[in-house]
Amino acid sequence: MRNQWYLVIMILATAVFAECCRGETDCIVEKTNGANPWTHLKFQDDAKEFQFVIVSDRTGGHRPGVFAKAMRKVNLLQPEFVISIGDLIEGYTNDKERIKSEWEEFDNIVKQLEMPFFYVAGNHDISGPEMLEIWRERRGQPYYHFVYKDVLFLCLDSEGGAKEFKKNHLDKDQQEYFREVLEKYHKVRWTLVFVHRPMWEKNRPSWLEIEKLLGERKYTVFAGHIHLYAKNVRQGRSYIRLGTTGGAIKVGDVSVGRTESICLGRFDHIVWVTMTEKGPRLANLTLDGIFSEDVTNILLADAVMEVKKKIDQGKAIVCTPIKIKGEKLVNGKTQIKITNFAFVPMRVEGGFRGHPQLTVNPNTIKEYLLPYASRIIDVEVKAAEPVKVEEISPLVLDSTIIFKAPFYEPVKCKVTNRIIIEMSR
């Protein structure tokens, strides 16, 4: 009887332990019969799940430093690997030395990654026979596949194939290659397709052949090229067109704020993908939203707070009123005093708004001040013809104050000054 009770106790203990520590989770916790300070103990630790990052267009009018910054931030996230969707160099040249130099520059950037990086060819990477030749020398054929944890990755070449350059096209050899791959791996749990150009948007004939080969399997497609993020649903599957990771960001001459830019799909980002049993789960992470633990420190934070107070009090940029003799203005002067209250250098960039009656010289300011330094700028104001003081609206100066401590993100503050015109007494 004693042994039977011992057996019952062991079974109950095992059940409690199993609830606390599902799978291979290294969790040891004392569970009570009453309330516990957690929601549940079903940890997200499925061995079949994994995370990786997709990076988008670096080039097509690249902005220096953005992609390299993204690579540093990817290291913070520690995915299992990184995959691109093309446009890694500027290209569009037949100068082989220049092509090789651009690839050397790019390869040195991705060398800082602590995990594998998978290349996908874009139009800026293969824009002619010379570039295709160098791609093959450095990377082999421009289309391939791999399987990771029962997920099939297809990396297509939308610039033709391994034999010749032809944009918006997947040649017969490439189609046959992926036909054989898809036949071989017809039982994988999911298929992920990476192609630079969103060829489905114009129903390119060779793309339609790939869709036929994909058939009824579960799959998701990723592309870039347009530099604007958009999600499409086609054949009941998600087709994702990425934004940029350093490539040119522009939509005609439209100038919009952050919220509008996101709605337009106009932003620098990486895609954090968690591969689950139900398919890929995506999180778009903008580059200005990923920071290391050293994003700031207590000394810098306190200093910025004090400087911000000075700025809000109107002490960082002070403009004197324009005083004139008599009732009408022909010309006048004002002084702008700029003071840096910080222990780091400060830049000021600003300009006067257009005025219907007055011209200003200089009409822009661009100053660099060392810590705790001050500077005075003389500004001249002229009227095209004498104008009564009471009929003149104030001059408006819009400025941005920028502080940059070594190894930290810059701090930017917007300042608006209104300069009045008054008669001297």
The full set of domain ranges for the chain reads 50-248+257-288, 298-423
pLDDT at 425: 67
pLDDT at 24: 44
Angle between helix 66-77 and helix 96-110 axes, rounded to 10 deg: 30
- Cβ within 8 Å of residue 399, ≥6 positions away: 317, 348, 349, 350, 365, 414, 415, 416, 417
Q: What architecture does CATH give domain 298-423?
A: Sandwich (2.60)
Confidence label for 4 from pLDDT (cuts 50, 70 and 90)? low
pLDDT at 25: 58
CA separation for the pair 225, 281 (Å, rounded): 22
Residue 6 pLDDT greater than 60, yes or no: no
Residue 377 pLDDT greater than 90, yes or no: yes
**Each residue's pLDDT tens digit, 231-285:** 999 999 999 999 999 999 865 545 556 666 888 899 999 999 999 999 999 999 9
pLDDT at 251: 58
CA separation for the pair 277, 149 (Å, rounded): 11
Lowest-confidence region among 95-99, 160-164, 172-176, 328-332: 160-164
**Each residue's pLDDT tens digit, 134-180:** 999 999 999 999 999 999 999 999 998 877 778 889 999 999 999 99
- Domain 50-248+257-288 - what CATH class? alpha beta
pLDDT, averaged across the chain: 89
pLDDT at 237: 97
- The per-type count for the chain, helices as H runs and strands as E runs, is 8, 23
Q: Check if 50-248+257-288 and 298-423 are the same fold.
A: no
Lowest-confidence region among 77-81, 185-189, 363-367, 392-396: 392-396
DSSP state of 390: G
If one compares 72 and 330, the residue with the highest pLDDT of the two is 72
Q: Do the bridges between strand 411-419 and strand 237-241 make them parallel or antiparallel, or are there none, so unpaired?
A: unpaired
**Each residue's pLDDT tens digit, 281-299:** 999 999 988 988 888 888 8
CA separation for the pair 228, 221 (Å, rounded): 16
CA separation for the pair 127, 107 (Å, rounded): 19
**Percentage above 90 pLDDT, the chain:** 66
CA separation for the pair 413, 400 (Å, rounded): 6
**Each residue's pLDDT tens digit, 173-182:** 999 999 999 9
